[in-house]
Chains A and B, each alone.
Chain A
Amino acid sequence: MNVVAHIGAATRAWLADVGHATALFVRLVLLAPACLRRFGLVRDHMHFLGNYSLAIISVSGLFVGFVLALQGYNTLQRFGSASALGMLVALSLVRELGPVISALLFTGRAGTSLTAEIGLMKAGEQLSAMEMMAIDPVQRILAPRFWAGVLVVPILGAIFSAVGIIGGWLVGVVMIGVDAGSFWGQMRDGVDVWADVGNGVIKTLVFGFTVSFIALRQGYEAQPTPDGVARATTRTVVMASLTVLALDFVLTALMFKL
């Protein structure tokens, strides 16, 4: 009997949590016009979040491109189709690795700092103080950061893919000596703007919503103590990473109809 009650209570708590999360998400989305009216706030945070992640995104993109070219060349070579290396590198990056890895890196680099910032603002009663000044912290603090994150992840994903392709070119063409003409030519023929690049951009947008929302909500709901903020930051990384990977599977299945 006790077990049933326990399961019931846990289910109710979970449902309430989902409800609160949904309500906050809807509010943030509906605050888009307010953010547009004060786009300066969004721009500042885009600058901040983007700059924050630019170095790690570029360096990671470069190395992922390197490795893709090495591994891809090894496999393609066996079938005598090393000329398709450019297409392989570009498709892997644009469809999968660009969106997913940049979302994961953004989580680690910027998501954690968002959670900690909001959590500490809450702990320092700054959010309460804002409420008492008749300023809605969701509108003034959360929404600009949310939309900045949503807009910045696609940009970071694009940079990741672009740098990765350059990395692939450096290893594949410059180092191994794959023919440059077929490297770029196959890439141009094999990558479709809408089916591949477009779907990649949609993925990064979805991940932008996901990661920004999880990071902000964890900060906003954090226990206002050092321990609480620490746990919220950890939860951001775990939840955002798992959600991104799970969503990636769903999106891939929907988009590329395998």
Chain B
Amino acid sequence: MNSPANLVELRDIHFGYGARPVLEGVSLQVPRGQVTALMGASGGGKTTVLRLIGGQHQAQSGEVLFEQQDMGRLTKTALYQARRRMGMLFQFGALFTDLSVFDNVAFPLREHAQLSEAMVRDIVLMKLEAVGLRGARDLFPSEISGGMARRVALARAMALDPELMMYDEPFAGLDPISLGTAARLIRQLNDALGLTSIVVSHDLEETFRIADKVVILANGRIAAQGTPDEVRHSTDPLVQQFVSAAPDGPVRFHYPASSAAEDFGLAKERA
């Protein structure tokens, strides 16, 4: 059941913030060496899944397995050990604003590895070269564009050579060129470095192009999963609404409300 072919596995996860349930019985597998895309409406719990895998949140029930370890039940030391094998790209990069591009990428190296400054410099320049920003090393986060910031953050997330890369909305707010660059980078890095990647996104076209496996989350459950083609041709109305970007369908356009007649005072008049 728990084949080592899966680097990450979620088993019947229930999770909520306060009284509001976000995930209600989610089970999914992330195959080793592949790019798995996690899609769904905003606020549907995609980022929550990443935070569960990273051990930043604990599920109310169910297991989050990373290399057969349950992330929710690790001691702090073991959790930090496991996190060193993961890299996470935050939605807007989350660069340290008081450090230069170079120092941002060097940060995890200096904190974790006892390396000489010369070695740190070589590694940082290699990582920056991989994302095409070796020339931007002396700039500060406030001086670079959003797309560049995300590439720097990618270099930083890869600094310690993780096995698992998680991308939280890597395409949000990017221009078409940066978007294409980001998508290609995710695919190339995954293949060249033998990573396993999880991409949280709602950009259909770009995500379907780079993913090996697509998982669609809706209403706290998994609505569909499979290869991009399988998902595209799914007959499930919810998946169809998502794939064809229809405004109304199983996911309602209107936020739940009392009847319009009542709200506009028409019902009362009649009474």
Supplied contacts A133-B160, A135-B111, A135-B112, 5 more A-B pairs, CB within 8 Å = A121-B97, A124-B92, A125-B92, A126-B96, A136-B80
Q: Flag if A125 contacts B94 (CB, 8 Å).
A: yes
Q: 10 tightest A-B contacts by CB?
A: A125-B94, A129-B94, A134-B83, A134-B80, A132-B88, A134-B84, A125-B90, A133-B108, A135-B111, A126-B94
A121 to chain B, nearest CB (A): 8
Mask, A111-127, CB within 8 Å of B = 1, is 00000000011001110
Chain A residues, CB < 8 A from B80: 134, 136
B contacts with A, residue count (CB < 8 A):
22
Measured between alpha carbons, how far is A125 from B95 in the docked complex, in Å?
A: 8
Q: Flag if B108 contacts A124 (CB, 8 Å).
A: no
User: What class of interface size applies to chain A in its complex with B?
Assistant: 10 to 19
A residues engaging B (CB < 8 A)?
A: 120-121, 124-126, 128-129, 131-136, 140
In the complex, which of the residues B94, B107, B160 has the most CB atoms of chain A within 10 Å of its own CB atom?
B94
B residues engaging A (CB < 8 A)?
A: 54, 56, 80-81, 83-84, 86-88, 90-92, 94-97, 107-108, 111-112, 153, 160
Q: Flag if A134 contacts B112 (CB, 8 Å).
A: yes
| In the complex with contacts A124-B97, A126-B97, A140-B111, A132-B91 CB distance below 8 A | no
B103 to chain A, nearest CB (A): 13
B112 to chain A, nearest CB (A): 7
| In the complex with contacts A124-B92, A125-B92, A132-B97 CB distance below 8 A | no
Contact among A120, A124, A125, A133 for B83, CB-based, below 8 A: A133
Measured between alpha carbons, how far is A129 from B89 in the docked complex, in Å?
A: 8
Chain A residues, CB < 8 A from B91: 125
A201 to chain B, nearest CB (A): 32
